[in-house]
Structure 1
Amino acid sequence: MTDLQYDYQSVSTHTKTNGIHNLVLAHQTEIETVNSIPCFFWGTLTEPYTTAKCWATLAKVVRSSFGPVPPSLRDPIVSAGAERMRFEGFSSCNGVYVRLDMKPEAIDGEFIASGTTNVDFNDPLLNALNAIQKGEKVTLAVGQQEVQVITAKTSASEKKVTLPTRWIKGLTSVQLYLADMDLKLEVSRLQAIQLFQSLPKGTIKGDFFITKRAGKCMFSTLATPDSVRIGGVQRLRLLEGILPIVEKISIYESSDKQTCALVCDFPKMQLLMAFSPDAYRGFSGEGKALENMTQSLPEEWIFGLNKLLKSNEAFDPTMLAIENDIDFGTMDHLTSSLSSIGLLGYDLTERNHFYRQLPFKTERILSLNPRLKNAKKLIDNKDIQIVANTNGHVEAIVKGSGVFHKVTIDAKSQRCTCDWFTAYQGKRGICKHILAVKMIA
Structure 2
Amino acid sequence: MTDLEYNYKGISTYSKTKGINNLVLAHQTEIEEVNNIPCFFWGSLTDPYVTAKCWTTIAKVVRSSFGPIPPSLRDPIVSAGSERLRFEGFSSCNGVYVRLDMKPEAIDGEFIANGTTNVDFNDPMLNALNAIQKNEKVTLAVGQQDVQVITSKAKVTEKKVTLPMRWIKGLTSVQLYLADMDIKFELNKIQTIQLFQSLPKGSVKGDFFITKRAGKFMFSTLATADSVRIGGVQRLRLLEGILAIVDKIFIYESSDKQTCAIVAEFGKMQLLMAFSPDSYRGFSGEGNVLETMTENLPIEWVYGLNSLLKSNETFDPTMLSIENDIDFGTMDNLTSNLSSMGLLGYDLSEKTHFYRRLPFKTERILSLNPRLKNAKKLLANEDIEIVERRADYIEAKVKGSGVVHKVIIDNNSQRCTCDWFTAYQGKRGICKHILGVKMMVS
Q: TM-score range by the shorter chain?
A: over 0.9
Which residue does 2:326 correspond to in 1?
326
Which residue does 1:240 correspond to in 2?
240
Within 5 Å, which residues of 2 pair with 1:11-410? 11-146=11-146, 157-310=157-310, 313-359=313-359, 361-410=361-410
Deviates more, 1:94-103 or 1:346-355: 346-355
Deviates more, 1:155-164 or 1:417-426: 155-164
Q: Aligned partners of 1:360 and 1:342: how far apart in 2?
A: 9
Q: Deviations over 1:17-72 (max 9, x none)?
A: 11111111111111121112111111111111110000000010000000000000
Contact 1:84 1:102 (8 Å CA) reproduced: yes
Deviates more, 1:233-242 or 1:22-31: 22-31
1:344/1:377 CA distance change after superposition, 3 Å: same
Q: Deviations over 1:151-196 (max 9, x none)?
A: xxxx851111111111010001001111111111111111111111
Contact 1:90 1:97 (8 Å CA) reproduced: yes
Q: Give, as a single letter, the amino acid of the residue that structure 1 aligns with 2:316.
A: D
**Unaligned stretches of 5+ residues in structure 1:** 149-154
Q: Deviations over 1:280-322 (max 9, x none)?
A: 0001111111222223454433443344335773212233233
Q: Deviations over 1:367-420 (max 9, x none)?
A: 122222222222222221121222142211111111110011122211100111
Contact 1:30 1:360 (8 Å CA) reproduced: no
Which residue does 2:438 correspond to in 1?
438
Identity of aligned residues (%): 81
Q: Aligned partners of 1:190 and 1:156: how far apart in 2?
A: 49
Q: Aligned partners of 2:120 and 2:343: how far apart in 1?
A: 22
- SS, match of residue 372 in structure 2: helix
Aligned length: 435
Contact 1:63 1:92 (8 Å CA) reproduced: yes
- Give the alignment's TM-score, normalised by structure 1: 0.94
Q: Aligned partners of 1:356 and 1:234: how far apart in 2?
A: 30
Contact 1:12 1:121 (8 Å CA) reproduced: yes
Q: How far did residue 358 of structure 1 move?
A: 1.7
- SS, match of residue 121 in structure 1: coil
Q: Aligned partners of 2:19 and 2:295: how far apart in 1?
A: 56
Contact 2:341 2:360 (8 Å CA) reproduced: no
Deviates more, 1:302-311 or 1:194-203: 302-311
**Unaligned stretches of 5+ residues in structure 2:** 149-154
1:296/1:78 CA distance change after superposition, 3 Å: farther
Deviates more, 1:350-359 or 1:208-217: 350-359
- SS, match of residue 101 in structure 1: strand
1:362/1:159 CA distance change after superposition, 3 Å: farther
Q: Aligned partners of 1:111 and 1:166: how far apart in 2?
A: 30
Q: Aligned partners of 1:185 and 1:407: how far apart in 2?
A: 39
Q: Aligned partners of 1:362 and 1:137: how far apart in 2?
A: 44
Q: Aligned partners of 2:427 and 2:115: how far apart in 1?
A: 34
Q: Aligned partners of 2:299 and 2:54: how far apart in 1?
A: 36
- Give the alignment's TM-score, normalised by structure 2: 0.94
Contact 2:169 2:340 (8 Å CA) reproduced: no
- SS, match of residue 219 in structure 2: strand
Q: Give, as a single letter, the amino acid of the residue that structure 1 aligns with 2:36.
A: S
Q: Give, as a single letter, the amino acid of the residue that structure 2 aligns with 1:318.
A: T
Q: Deviations over 1:93-148 (max 9, x none)?
A: 00000010000111111111111111111111111111111111111111122178
Q: Aligned partners of 1:405 and 1:36: how far apart in 2?
A: 51
Contact 2:337 2:365 (8 Å CA) reproduced: no
- SS, match of residue 342 in structure 1: coil
Q: How far did residue 10 of structure 1 move?
A: 1.3
Within 5 Å, which residues of 2 pair with 1:422-437? 422-437=422-437
Q: Aligned partners of 2:75 and 2:163: how far apart in 1?
A: 8
Contact 2:6 2:162 (8 Å CA) reproduced: yes
Contact 1:82 1:311 (8 Å CA) reproduced: no
Q: Aligned partners of 1:161 and 1:312: how far apart in 2?
A: 28
Q: Aligned partners of 1:296 and 1:241: how far apart in 2?
A: 46
1:368/1:332 CA distance change after superposition, 3 Å: closer
Q: How far did residue 326 of structure 1 move?
A: 2.9
Contact 2:302 2:337 (8 Å CA) reproduced: no
Q: Aligned partners of 1:365 and 1:168: how far apart in 2?
A: 11
Deviates more, 1:374-383 or 1:250-259: 374-383
- SS, match of residue 187 in structure 1: strand
Q: Aligned partners of 1:157 and 1:68: how far apart in 2?
A: 33
Deviates more, 1:382-391 or 1:34-43: 382-391
Q: Give, as a single letter, the amino acid of the residue that structure 1 aligns with 2:189.
A: R
Q: Give, as a single letter, the amino acid of the residue that structure 2 aligns with 1:249.
A: I
Q: Aligned partners of 1:366 and 1:113: how far apart in 2?
A: 31
Contact 1:118 1:359 (8 Å CA) reproduced: no
Deviates more, 1:341-350 or 1:68-77: 341-350
Q: Aligned partners of 1:141 and 1:194: how far apart in 2?
A: 37
Contact 2:101 2:270 (8 Å CA) reproduced: yes
Q: Aligned partners of 2:19 and 2:306: how far apart in 1?
A: 40
- SS, match of residue 57 in structure 1: helix
- SS, match of residue 205 in structure 2: coil
Instruction: Give the RMSD, CA atoms, in angstroms.
Output: 1.7
Q: Give, as a single letter, the amino acid of the residue that structure 1 aligns with 2:410.
A: D
1:88/1:298 CA distance change after superposition, 3 Å: farther
